[in-house]
Amino acid sequence: MEEIKLMHSLKDMINIRFDKFKDRVAFLEKFGTSKEFEEITYKKLKDDINGLGTYMLKKMGLENKKIAVIGENSSRWYITYMAVVCGVGVIVPLDKELPANEILNLMQRSKASAIVYSDRKKEAIDAIRDKLPKDMIYINMNIPEKTKNEYSFDRLVEAGRDLVDTGNIDYIEKEIDREAFSVLLFTSGTTGTSKGVMLNHKNLANNLYAAEFIIPQMGEYRLLSVLPMHHTFEFTVTYLYGTYSGSTIGICEGLKYFVKNIKEIKPDVLVCVPALVERVDQRIEKALKEQNKEKLVSTMRKLTTGLSKIGIDLRKKVFKQIQDNLGGNVKIILCGGAPIDAKLVEKMESYGFIFMQGYGLTETAPLITTTLLKDRVAGTVGKPIKNMEVRIDLSANVDENSNIGEIIVKGDNVMMGYYENEEETNKVLNKGWFFTGDIGYFDIKGNLVISGRSKNVIVTSNGKKIFPEEIENLINQIPLVEESMVYGKPSKKNKNEVLVTARVTLDEEYIEENYASKRPTDEEIYNIIWNEIKKINRSMVGYKAVKELEIKKDKFSKTTTMKIKRFEEMKKK
């Protein structure tokens, strides 16, 4: 294996790595109404990035300005990001699910001078035009020609490439300050108002350096991009590390096309979040139930897992049908974004998949720890990545009788700070250490175990601390329950007493399949779930027992990576 070297900046990817892979296919993507995936080579990718960057820098007056990007996953989104950070200004990725008023808020907060967007976001952008600066530049990714109000993305790239062909190489030769502010990412706000995270090339380059030690053969693999591109985990792992390695990335048309696209792309690696893994598991379980193979498969899983431990691995052959449902080639499932139940990890491994888990935050660009190809331990998020120090701060006083505390980290991938928010920055950064707000501990083998978020911890009247995520994992296994959120609610009888409360949504698909002849009444559903919760209560220490149950009629408010927005939910009655 060739020596792994740390890049100076992302521009090294374009000028060195892309040349190395120039004839390889970088992206597989469907355009417009096309039913077939089209190929985009690394050479074309490099030329398009340099073309857009050149035109923005030389003809649009955007040097050192902030440029927002919003839309579905696409090569144009990636080109925009890379063109901006590699010589124009600061990129501001926005969540495509944001309504118009929130897009306006983030555009104003970021002081963006331009916005690049997909045609599906045009209506939302048009709705806020009169509230944005008059000199705002609007670039539509999908229109073929420039209009009165919008530039055409393709025409800008074309014009920029013409400039390069005639000798304008100022953008291409522009040097990058690896410690300069280059990326502004707004957090999803699951526990509060979103904050603007400032990242630089040093942060991202260090993540890519570390990733080579985790999956060194990524360039041999084909990936399927499912998670939204604005999410740091997806963009760093799939798009940045994927293209850094020379992988081919198939761009999923959307979550509802996941099953169809995974069979078309046949990926080797799937980057996902726990909610997506849970959906895959539900599909597998449903198919086994329809075929009356639940007991058989359960027995075979135990048998083949046991044999694999003594060097006889038959899982790929025995579970070929399950493998084929994920395209037939998936070798590695890399999961991040939230904790996942250890039993589900073990189940996926028993089908023959290598299940790796990563832990990180937007503020760390995002990787902090990851399990490895070998010696993986289900229920943990592995060991610190290269160039990253991770410690447990016991002064957080989470549990004075254990080794549980707040996870703090130090390394070159820790953010510069929060944008125009010195107060919040000072709360989390101290002498180079970033206080994550996550609670956890190291197991006997040095693997990090996440217990929960410090902001989610429930404190009882006698000072006991409860991690809701632990209880949620158990409640989510109740068949009638789709999802749950456990929180502390003040008692009406005693203001000093906190009631551990479970708020759940129903699995309507399960109800339709199992109560087809007659749907249970709301009271009957409540009693069924409550009886299951009482069983869970008996398996835990007394102070963790759930005292109240709330059944939500509508879905939880969620981020685009399918995490519950607790901050919003807590405001609801």
Determine how β-strand 25-29 pairs with β-strand 383-384.
unpaired
How far, CA to CA in Å, does 91 sit from each of 75, 77, 191, 315?
16, 11, 25, 44
DSSP symbol at 519: P
Per-residue pLDDT band at 400 (split at 50, 70, 90): low
CATH number of the structural domain 11-176+222-265: 3.40.50.12780
At residue 401, the pLDDT reads 57
Whether residue 192 is predicted with pLDDT greater than 70 in this model: the reply is no
- pLDDT for the residue numbered 456: 80
Shared fold status for 11-176+222-265 and 269-328+331-454: yes
pLDDT at 459: 72
The pTM score is 0.85
Six-digit token string for 309: 């431990």
Angstrom distance (rounded) from CA 423 to CA 454: 19
HEC readout, 28-68: EECCCCCCCCEEEEHHHHHHHHHHHHHHHHHHCCCCCCEEE
Average pLDDT score over residue span 72-95: 98
Residue 33: its pLDDT value, please?
Answer: 84
Q: Which of the pair, 543 or 350, is modelled with greater confidence?
A: 350
Q: Give the confidence band of 279 by pLDDT, cuts at 50, 70, 90.
A: confident
Give the mean model confidence (pLDDT) for residues 509-535: 91
Give pLDDT tens digits for 23-81: 999 999 999 888 899 999 999 999 999 999 999 999 999 999 999 999 999 999 999 99
Percent of the chain at pLDDT exceeding 70: 96
pLDDT tens by residue, 103-158: 999 999 999 999 999 999 999 999 999 999 999 999 999 999 999 999 999 999 99
In the predicted model, what is the mean pLDDT of the chain? 91
pLDDT, residue 457, reads 76
Asked whether 236 and 365 are in contact (CB, 8 A), the reply is yes
Residue ranges of domains in the chain = 11-176+222-265, 269-328+331-454, 457-570
Q: Which fold has domain 269-328+331-454?
A: Rossmann fold (3.40.50)
139 closest CA partner among 187, 99, 91, 177: 91
- For 539, other C-beta atoms within 10 Å of its C-beta total 9
The residue that leads in pLDDT, 526 or 374, is: 526
CA distances from 10 to 243, 264, 272 (A): 11, 30, 24
Candidates 533, 467, 464, 461; CA nearest to 493 is: 461
**What CATH architecture applies to the domain 457-570?**
2-Layer Sandwich (3.30)
Taking the C-alpha atoms of residue 529 and residue 541, their distance in angstroms, rounded to an integer, is: 20
CA distance 90 to 98: 20
What CA–CA distances, in Å, run from 445 to 222, 241, 376? 32, 28, 11
pLDDT reading at 254 higher than 80: yes
Rounded to whole angstroms, the Cα distance separating 97 from 255 reads: 13
Instruction: Give the alpha-carbon dihedral of 62, 142, 85, 211, to 10 degrees.
Output: 170
Question: What is the rounded CA–CA span in Å between residue 382 and residue 33?
Answer: 43
What confidence score (pLDDT) does residue 475 get? 94
What's the pLDDT score for residue 285?
87
Examine the pLDDT at 469 and tell me if it is beyond 80. yes
Residue 539, token pair as written in the block:
């398996």
51: exposed, middle or buried (C-beta count within 10 Å: 0-12, 13-18, 19+)?
Answer: buried
